[in-house]
C-alpha cells in the first residue's frame, strides 16, 4: 500500500505499545496518513518523547498520549474510561503491545504476565471500547499476533504456566489467543460495521525480549541483522488498519499484507468460545 492508496484524515486511531518497534513505526505511518493518534504507553517520559518525535517527524500535531501499564487490569479500565470521557470517536484500535519473558512473572493481578499483556489486555481493552467503535463505524480492530501461534492448542489446564513454564510456549499460546479472540469477536461483530483482523508482522528487529537481561539483548541484536526493520514489520498492520482494500473484511489473518491460513487449533470454535468465557472470568467482564 502506498500513501496515495489511503488517507486517514478525520480518523481517530488508538495504538498500544507505541514507544518502540512495530507500534512506533505503525503510529508514524498513520500520522503521515493524517490520522488523529491516541498513543497508549506505560512510561510517562518515553511516551512523551514518542509523542513529540512522531509530531516532529510527520508534521502531524494531533498526537495524544494516554498512560497505562497494560499488565494491570485496573490501568486498562482507567485507560478506557479516560478515552471514553473525551467523547472522541474511535475508528481504529490497534492492539499491539506485547512482551516475551524468559522467566515466569506475575502481574499485580497475580496473572502470568505474557498471557495478561499479550492476550487479556487486548480482550479487556477491546471490549471496553466496543460501544465507541460501534458508534464510529466503519471501524476496525487490528490484533497484532504472530506465526508463533503455531505452538499448539491453548492449554486450558495450565493457562499461566504454573505447572511448567516454557518461554516460547507461553508466548506462542498468547499469540494463538490473539487469533482465536479475533475469530470469535468477528463472529460476534457480524453486521455491526466493526471489523477485526489479526496480523503477523514477520520477524522484525525490535525491542521484543530486551527485558530479559544482557544475554537476551545480545542475541536479539545479532538476530536483528537478519530481520525486517520496524518500518517493514509495520506494513501489514498499516495495511489492515488503513487500506481501502480491507474495507469490510473481518475475521482474517494477514501476513505480508495478504490473507493467510492459521493453525488448525486456531479454528476450533469450541476452544474460541471457551477462551472467551475464561478471559471474561479472568477480567471480570460478563
Ligand X SMILES: NC(=O)c1ccc[n+]([C@@H]2O[C@H](COP(=O)([O-])OP(=O)(O)OC[C@H]3O[C@@H](n4cnc5c(N)ncnc54)[C@H](OP(=O)(O)O)[C@@H]3O)[C@@H](O)[C@H]2O)c1
DSSP H helices in the chain: 21-32, 44-58, 73-85, 113-115, 121-134, 167-188, 213-224, 230-242, 269-283
23 in contact with ligand X (CB under 6 A): yes
CB of 41 to ligand X, least distance (A): 6
Which burial class, exposed, middle or buried, applies to 129 when counting CB atoms under 10 A from its CB (0-12, 13-18, 19+)?
buried
43 contacts ligand X (rule: CB under 6 A)? yes
Q: Is 96 in the site for ligand X (CB under 6 A)?
A: yes
Q: CB of 270: closest distance to ligand X in angstroms?
A: 25
Is residue 206 at the binding interface for ligand X, with CB under 6 A as the rule? yes
**At CA 160, angle to CA 185 and CA 182, rounded to 5?**
15
DSSP string covering 11-23, please?
Answer: -EEEEESTTSHHH
20 binds ligand X (CB under 6 A): yes
Could you give the CA distance from residue 158 to residue 163 in angstroms, rounded to a whole number?
7
Name the residue whose CB lies closest to ligand X.
21
Cross-strand bridge partners of residue 141: 93, 196
Question: Residue 118 or residue 250: which is nearer to ligand X going by CB?
Answer: 118
Q: Which stretch binds ligand X (CB under 6 A): 1-9, 17-25, 85-93, 153-161?
A: 17-25
267 classed as catalytic: no
> Under rule CB under 6 A, how many of the chain's residues touch ligand X?
26
Q: Which is nearer to ligand X, 55 or 89 (CB)?
A: 55
- Is position 260 an interface residue for ligand X (rule: CB under 6 A)? no
Question: Peptide bond before 138: cis, by omega within 30 degrees of 0?
Answer: yes
Name the residues that contact ligand X, by CB under 6 A. 17, 19-23, 42-43, 46, 69-71, 96-99, 117, 144, 146, 200-201, 203-204, 206-208
Amino acid at each position: 500500500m502506498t500513501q496515495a492508496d489511503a488517507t486517514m484524515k478525520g480518523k481517530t486511531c488508538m495504538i498500544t505499545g507505541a514507544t518502540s518497534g512495530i507500534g512506533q513505526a505503525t503510529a508514524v505511518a498513520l500520522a503521515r496518513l493524517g490520522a488523529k493518534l491516541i498513543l497508549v504507553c506505560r512510561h510517562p517520559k518515553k511516551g512523551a518523547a514518542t509523542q513529540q518525535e512522531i509530531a516532529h517527524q510527520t508534521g502531524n500535531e494531533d498526537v495524544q498520549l494516554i498512560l497505562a501499564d497494560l499488565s494491570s487490569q485496573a490501568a486498562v479500565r482507567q485507560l478506557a474510561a479516560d478515552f471514553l470521557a473525551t467523547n472522541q470517536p474511535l475508528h481504529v484500535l490497534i492492539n499491539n503491545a506485547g512482551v516475551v519473558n524468559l522467566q515466569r512473572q506475575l502481574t499485580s493481578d497475580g496473572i502470568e504476565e505474557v498471557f495478561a499483556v499479550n492476550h487479556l489486555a487486548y480482550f479487556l481493552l477491546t471490549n471496553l471500547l466496543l460501544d465507541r467503535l460501534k458508534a464510529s463505524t466503519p471501524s476496525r480492530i487490528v490484533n497484532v499476533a504472530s506465526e508463533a501461534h503455531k505452538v499448539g492448542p491453548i492449554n486450558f489446564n495450565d493457562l499461566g504456566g504454573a505447572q511448567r513454564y516454557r518461554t516460547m510456549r507461553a508466548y506462542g499460546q498468547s499469540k494463538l489467543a490473539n487469533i482465536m479472540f479475533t475469530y470469535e469477536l468477528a463472529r460476534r461483530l457480524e453486521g455491526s460495521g466493526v471489523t477485526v483482523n489479526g496480523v503477523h508482522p514477520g520477524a522484525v528487529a525490535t525491542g521484543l525480549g530486551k527485558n530479559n537481561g544482557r544475554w537476551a539483548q545480545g542475541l536479539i541484536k545479532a538476530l536483528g541483522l537478519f530481520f525486517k526493520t520496524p518500518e517493514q514489520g509495520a506494513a501489514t498492520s498499516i495495511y489492515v488498519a488503513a487500506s481501502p482494500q480491507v474495507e469490510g473484511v473481518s475475521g482474517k489473518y494477514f501476513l505480508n499484507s495478504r490473507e493467510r491460513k492459521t493453525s488448525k487449533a486456531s479454528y476450533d470454535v469450541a476452544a474460541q468460545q471457551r477462551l472467551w468465557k475464561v478471559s471474561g472470568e479472568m477480567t471480570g467482564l460478563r
